[in-house]
């Protein structure tokens, strides 16, 4: 299995993977409003390939907290149904978070299943003072500080990068 940076030719297979993993209605979710019209962060988008076959993918978007504090929005991340529980999701998340740290990012947000993401250090407590621009199950709203104190004093609405 190879983990490499996402290339334009992977986009079709990624969309198909995400449709299976989350269903085509995924684009109606609140987090997608934060991605509308904004490019993902290319340096943090990775795919897992076995030969030429796409088996997993992860992407990140830039967002702002309270209009000025930059943060990362992790997701979507998905692994092919027949390749789950082999550690691929963890490899994609850990690899990309390590790269995010190298690039100097401090705060990471996501909306997802806490029982899965807590193993990477994500916690709801860090984002208690933040809100999202639409309905979410608040217990699924999680944060990770890549730098100590990244969320200290942060508050307000999470917004789309560039307004």
Ligand X SMILES: CC(C)(COP(=O)(O)OP(=O)(O)OC[C@H]1O[C@@H](n2cnc3c(N)ncnc32)[C@H](O)[C@@H]1OP(=O)(O)O)[C@@H](O)C(=O)NCCC(=O)NCCS
Residue 113 makes contact with ligand X by CB under 6 A: yes
Residue 89 makes contact with ligand X by CB under 6 A: yes
78 beta partners: 57
**Candidate residues 30, 38, 86, 124; the one interacting with ligand X per rule CB under 6 A:** 86
Q: How many of the chain's residues bind ligand X (CB under 6 A)?
A: 16
Per 3-state DSSP, the chain is made up of helix, strand and coil in percentages (nearest 5) of 35, 30, 35
CB of 75 to ligand X, least distance (A): 7
Ranked by CB distance to ligand X, the top (closest) residue is 89
CB of 105 to ligand X, least distance (A): 20
Specify burial of residue 109 (Cβ count, 10 A radius: 0-12, 13-18, 19+).
buried
Residue 85 makes contact with ligand X by CB under 6 A: yes
What is the distance between the alpha carbons of residues 9 and 53, in angstroms, rounded to a whole number? 12
Q: Which residues bind ligand X (CB under 6 A)?
A: 21-22, 77-79, 84-90, 112-113, 115-116
């Amino acid at each position: 299995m190879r983990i490499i940076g996402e290339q334009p030719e992977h986009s079709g297979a990624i969309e198909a993977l995400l449709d299976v993993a989350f269903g085509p209605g995924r684009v109606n979710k609140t987090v997608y409003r934060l991605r509308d019209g904004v490019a993902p962060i290319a340096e943090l988008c990775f795919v897992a390939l076995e030969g030429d076959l796409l088996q997993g993918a992860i992407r990140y978007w830039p967002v702002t907290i309270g209009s000025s504090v930059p943060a990362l929005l992790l997701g979507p991340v998905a692994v092919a149904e027949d390749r789950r529980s082999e550690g691929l999701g963890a490899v994609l998340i850990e690899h990309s978070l390590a790269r995010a740290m190298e690039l100097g990012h401090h705060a990471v947000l996501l909306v997802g299943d806490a029982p899965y993401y807590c193993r990477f250090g994500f916690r709801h407590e860090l984002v208690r003072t933040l809100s999202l621009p639409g309905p979410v199950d608040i217990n699924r709203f999680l944060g990770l500080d890549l730098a100590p104190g990244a969320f200290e004093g942060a508050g307000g609405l999470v917004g789309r990068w560039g307004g």
